Amino acid sequence: MLEAFNLQKSYNHKTSVLHVLRGVSLKVKGGDFLSIVGPSGAGKSTLLHILGGLDRPSEGKVVLDNEEIYALNDRERANLRNRKIGFVFQFYHLLPEFSALENVILPSLIRGDMANRKEAEGRGHLLLEKVGLKARVTHRPHELSGGEQQRVAIARALVNDPGIIFCDEPTGNLDSQSGKEVIELLSQLNKKNGQTLVIVTHDEKIAALSAKTVHMEDGRLLN
């Protein structure tokens, strides 16, 4: 499904060069639940953003469903992300003036499904029920707990039925119990629905719930 070849990322800083990724290659198969673990500053989030088409590598390439994503122009890559990729971040990035349902269906509306808004809303209701928020459909983010907001973000990531979901420290802003519930929810999505997941975390206890784990340090994968 997804393959990365010799990814390198560096930044010029005054008289020095900061190397964040140093030749990372990675393969993700459909239905995988892969965790990328390592200390802060290892390059995990940079790798995830490059895999998901959010940040261009200095060298190397990323192929998703036989399509080299950095050979596309910005508009084409944005369309690919909207159709095939879902994202869940540490900070939920919900729009505060929108209800939970409106936040969930936003990617569908961006895709151009305004004519099918009722259909999008129907899917949004089903997804919110799936993540345990059937009674929170009309609530705005400030009326939800951190764990509930992250569940809304997960439902939003699922709304366009993406082939793969990238999660960047999805429990990093949650208490331990809420974090455990969110990871268990993601694990259920993988086991029951075959959803492909790639999760970045510094917590190896969380990674233990995933089927595969790779370790990252100093911009390199160790295994």
% pLDDT > 90, the chain: 58
What would the mean pLDDT of 14-32 be, rounded to a whole number? 91
Which strand (E) or helix (H) includes residue 8? Answer: strand 2-13
- pLDDT tens profile 55-87: 999 999 999 999 999 999 999 999 899 889 999
Residue 141 domain flag: yes
CATH number at residue 107: 3.40.50.300
Domains contained in the chain, number? 1
pLDDT of 1 over the 60 cut: yes
Residue 64 domain flag: no
CA dihedral 6, 53, 55, 42 (to 10 degrees): -60
Residue 63 domain flag: no
Q: pTM for the complete prediction?
A: 0.88
Residue 128 domain flag: yes
- pLDDT tens profile 201-213: 877 677 788 889 9
**Residue 140, CB half-sphere, CA atoms under 13 Å: how many?**
5
pLDDT of 194 over the 90 cut: no
Q: Residue 85 is encoded by which pair of tokens?
A: 């990729």
Range of the domain at 39: 32-53+83-214
What would the mean pLDDT of 107-114 be, rounded to a whole number? 72
Distances (CA, A) of 42 to 137, 201, 214, 216: 38, 11, 12, 6
* Burial degree of 203 (CB within 10 A; 0-12, 13-18, 19+): middle
What would the mean pLDDT of 25-48 be, rounded to a whole number? 92
Residue bearing tokens 């050979």: 71
Distances (CA, A) of 167 to 73, 88, 200: 24, 5, 6
Residue bearing tokens 């910005």: 74
Look at residue 160 in the predicted model and tell me its pLDDT. 86
